[in-house]
Amino acid sequence: MNSMFKGGIILIIALMAATYFMAGDAFSLGEDYINDLTMLGAFAIIAITVFVALKYINQIKNDTASGELVEDNWDGIGEYTNDIPVGWGVIFIGTIVWMFWYMFVGYPTNQFSQVGQYNEEVNEYNVKFQSQWDNPTADTLKAMGESVFGVQCAPCHGVDAEGIAGKAQDLTQRISKEQVLTVIQNGQEGLGYAMGAMPAGMASGADAEAIATWVVGGMKGEKPASFVACASCHGEDGKGMNGMSPNLAEYDVVLMAKVIENGKKSSIGEMPSFKGRINETQTKALSAFLNSIKAGE
């Protein structure tokens, strides 16, 4: 046994010992096969790497180049037409096979996951939450909505819901004249209503001004004749025809659910989707709270 081989054995043992010393607490034979495979894989990589390195170092020291040179050369340096090393080829193909095995068979989908545990606990809590607050009173909904608003909405809309100096929509007004004119001019899409997207340019000039003024004023007084273009989808009362299109009069539950699920583009930016973060009961609560703000309660 030559000295290089002896040195390789010593190096392998030393590297394996160091690996076990650093990560040995995760190696518990039979208790978690993923950790067992990981440790054994580390040992295999160490052994293969050292032996391959020693093999090629030995070839560099003792072997001489042989074979047929290719016709082309670069600065007098030519390549041989020899085949690739068998070991390299086997490792290359083996790595590809292992990749597919790990992707479709070996990935530890049945092992413990902190993210999976968190999601399970959230789902369990949501079920418990909804059953606990299945039929809340109006006051309970308003109080719950205020709490949800403080956590989820206030960072952009402000604790008073006034939009933090115009950086987000002022929810105390329900809707502003500028917003109405922007939607009339540019249309609105992405809310997922049965009526579909609102096309741009439904009105212009004085007609658009009259519609915006009437809507922002709570749709009180004489209805502008130009509102007929809006009534075909929003209804004569502007309340959205039982959820077929957005309610222009109040923050109803359907509007709240659509905005939470899909987000919303407006004249001052874009609100992201909150789908999965606010459940059905909390959506009703937000609607009740925002309507109470509008009413000055």
Query: pLDDT at position 230, please?
Result: 85
**Spatial distance between the Cα atoms of 58 and 53, rounded to a whole number of angstroms:** 9
Ordered by start, the domain boundaries in the chain are: 3-106, 138-294
Region 99-121 average pLDDT:
79
Task: Enter the DSSP assignment of 26.
Answer: G
Query: pLDDT at position 222, please?
Result: 83
For the cut 70, the answer to whether the pLDDT of residue 37 exceeds it is yes
Q: Which of 271, 253, 240 is nearest to 163 (CA)?
A: 271
Region 80-94 average pLDDT:
86
Query: pLDDT at position 266, please?
Result: 66
Residues 6 or more apart whose CB falls under 8 angstroms from that of 184 comprise 201, 202, 203, 204, 208, 211, 212
Position 97 confidence tier, pLDDT thresholds 50, 70, 90? very high
Q: Which of 256, 272, 255, 253 is nearest to 264 (CA)?
A: 272
Query: pLDDT at position 93, please?
Result: 95
**Spatial distance between the Cα atoms of 289 and 297, rounded to a whole number of angstroms:** 9
For the cut 80, the answer to whether the pLDDT of residue 34 exceeds it is no
**Spatial distance between the Cα atoms of 297 and 292, rounded to a whole number of angstroms:** 5
pTM > 0.75: no
Region 101-108 average pLDDT:
78
Instruction: Just give the CATH number of 138-294.
Output: 1.10.760.10
Query: pLDDT at position 95, please?
Result: 94
Q: β-strands 69-74, 269-271: how paired?
A: unpaired
Strands (E), 28-99: 69-74, 77-80
For the cut 90, the answer to whether the pLDDT of residue 59 exceeds it is no
Q: β-strands 264-266, 269-271: how paired?
A: antiparallel
**Spatial distance between the Cα atoms of 184 and 199, rounded to a whole number of angstroms:** 8
Region 250-271 average pLDDT:
78
The CA-atom distances, in angstroms, between 290 and each of 149, 180, 241 are 9, 19, 21
Mean of the per-residue pLDDT values for the chain?
Answer: 81
For the cut 90, the answer to whether the pLDDT of residue 94 exceeds it is yes
DSSP string covering 169-212 = --TTSSS-HHHHHHHHHH-B--S--TT-PBPS-S--HHHHHHHH
**6-20 tens-digit pLDDT:** 777 888 888 888 877
Position 25 confidence tier, pLDDT thresholds 50, 70, 90? low
Query: pLDDT at position 155, please?
Result: 86
For the cut 90, the answer to whether the pLDDT of residue 92 exceeds it is yes
Position 26 confidence tier, pLDDT thresholds 50, 70, 90? low
Query: pLDDT at position 173, please?
Result: 73
With beta carbons less than 8 A apart as the criterion, state whether 69 and 81 touch.
Answer: yes
**115-165 tens-digit pLDDT:** 888 888 888 887 887 777 777 888 888 889 889 888 888 888 888 888 877
For the cut 90, the answer to whether the pLDDT of residue 96 exceeds it is yes
**192-202 tens-digit pLDDT:** 788 888 888 88
Query: pLDDT at position 154, please?
Result: 86
